[in-house]
Structure formats: structure tokens, C-alpha cells
Amino acid sequence: MPFTSTTHVRWPDVDPNGHMRTTAYLDAAEDNRMQFFASAGFPVTELAARRIGPISHGDDIRYRAELRLLEAFTVELRLAGLASDGARFRLHNRIVKADNRTAATIVTTAGWLDLDARRLTTPPADLLAVLTALDRTKDFAELPSPLAHV
């Protein structure tokens, strides 16, 4: 099962057309991911203490159904790809309306940033284990490591 969190469309999330704006979808996905890491023993304070943090390389958003002000929704998280060393990963968020229709999907390619060296790094074994245990998408793919040529 995917990791899930539930929230609703807030006033600042709505665009002039009356539906949830693009950046609010990204915010919901990012919040869901950080809730996942926190629930697995890696809140932002632990990541900071270990001098490592997640960094996004890009997002692909696909819209399927509108969300409107105060509408409740669930955010699902699955692992869509992972390099063998864990330095790069791909996360899939599905934004789900109360009637179970998909409002949007967000696929984010990310990596781990060494907060001191300011470059990509591999995660510690216990953090990699948390990521590896995440429910996988049907199209999960092994990713090349960005550190393979360093």
C-alpha cells in the first residue's frame, strides 16, 4: 500500500479560475513526502543532523480532475525508480479526490544532497532502507546513479 496523507484545498491554494493552482499540487506532494520520511524516523531535524537532504531535479504534473476550495483529498506516495546506491530516486504522488478519482499525478526525480559539500551523495543505509521499503509503482525502474561517473 502507498503512504498516504489527507488534507484539503486552502484559500491560498486556489487560482483565479476557482480551482487548485499548480504550485499547490506540488506543495501537497512535497508535504506528503516529508510526512513519509518523518513517519519512518527521518523528520527534517534528523536529516539536518545527518547533514543530508532531499533535492528535486524536476517534476512532471498531469491533471485529471479539478479540486476546488475546501475540497478534501488524499495524497498517495509510491517509489517509481531508484539507483542501486540510492543517490537518485523517482517518487510518484497521486492526488485523489474523495470519490476516488485521480485529480493529478506528480512524478518527481530527486536525489540526496550533502548539505556541507553541496553536491549529490548516497544516503546512509538506514535511510536507503526506508526508501527501498516504499510501495513501488507498476512501472518501477532501476535508475542510473548520478555518482557513477564522478
Mean pLDDT, 10 residues at a time, over the chain (150 residues)?
98 96 97 98 98 97 97 98 97 98 98 97 97 98 84
- pLDDT value at residue 146: 86
- pLDDT value at residue 150: 54
Q: Count Cβ atoms below 10 Å from residue 19 Cβ, excluding itself.
A: 18
- pLDDT value at residue 149: 62
Q: Are 21 and 80 in contact (CB under 8 A)?
A: no
Closest CA to 75 of 41, 133, 35, 40: 35
Structural fold of domain 3-138: Thiol Ester Dehydrase; Chain A (3.10.129)
Q: Based on C-alpha coordinates, what's the Rg of the chain? A: 16
- pLDDT value at residue 148: 72
Helical H runs in 72-146?
125-132
Give the pTM: 0.95
Phi-psi region of 33 (alpha: psi -120 to 50; beta: other; left: phi over 0): alpha
Helical H runs in the chain?
22-39, 44-49, 125-132
The strand ranges marked E within 33-148 are 52-63, 72-83, 88-97, 102-114, 119-121, 136-143
